[in-house]
Structure 1
């Protein structure tokens, strides 16, 4: 199984973040943490064993649940990146279809 790009960073330590969340929220174990974050328990296990990165949606959920800033959470896991790379497809406009021009929409108020 291949590791995700962030796992290759020496400073990356998802366990530090997870352990801090356990302590901050007074939780006993990863199962309680998974319930709090509303994710399946294997998700936390995969993150601990660096088989799954902490994705944006989970990071936002951690922020909403704990009140900690996204920057704090990222610092705890050792994510020191200041910029993110987007795939080539992201941010580019979709190519215009060669079909007929769009027909103007009728105002629904005039239809009554």
Structure 2
């Protein structure tokens, strides 16, 4: 399956969802992606597809991560490589 997330990498945005998922697992003290999917209340394939950059992290999941970790949205974005001050959807197009 092709990678649908062909986001250009810049110094401000080096998308790496694996870093975010690993940080959440460590922060919550859980063992693996299956436990993470239960904790975030998403199907296990969703976490796998995010980890393999097939599926982006959507707004609903971003909010669930915030609720579970207590991290700000800015902290979450930073952990996945997004260090931009402002986020605009047209930045990705």
Category of TM-score, reference length = shorter chain? 0.7 to 0.9
- For 2:19 and 2:36, locate their aligned partners in 1 and report how far apart those are by CA, in whole Å: 14
- State the 1:2 CA deviation: 4.4
Rg (Cα) greater in structure? 1
Gaps of 5+ in 2: none
SS at match of 2:67: helix
| Structure 1 gap segments, 5+ residues each | 87-112
Residue number in structure 2 paired with 1:68: 71
Residue 9 in structure 1 maps to residue 13 in structure 2: no
Higher relative contact order (CA 8 A, sep 6+): 2
2:31 maps to what in 1?
28
What is the number of residues matched between the two proteins? Answer: 85
User: What residue is the counterpart of 1:80 in the other structure?
Assistant: 83
Q: Structure 2 vs 1, CA of residues 2 and 23 (structure 1 numbering), >3 Å: closer, same or farther? A: closer
Q: 2: CA distance between counterparts of 1:20 and 1:32?
A: 14
Moved over 6 A (4+): none
| TM-score in terms of structure 1 length | 0.69
> What is the TM-score when the length of structure 2 is the normalising length?
0.83
Q: How far 1:55 sits from its partner (Å)?
A: 0.7
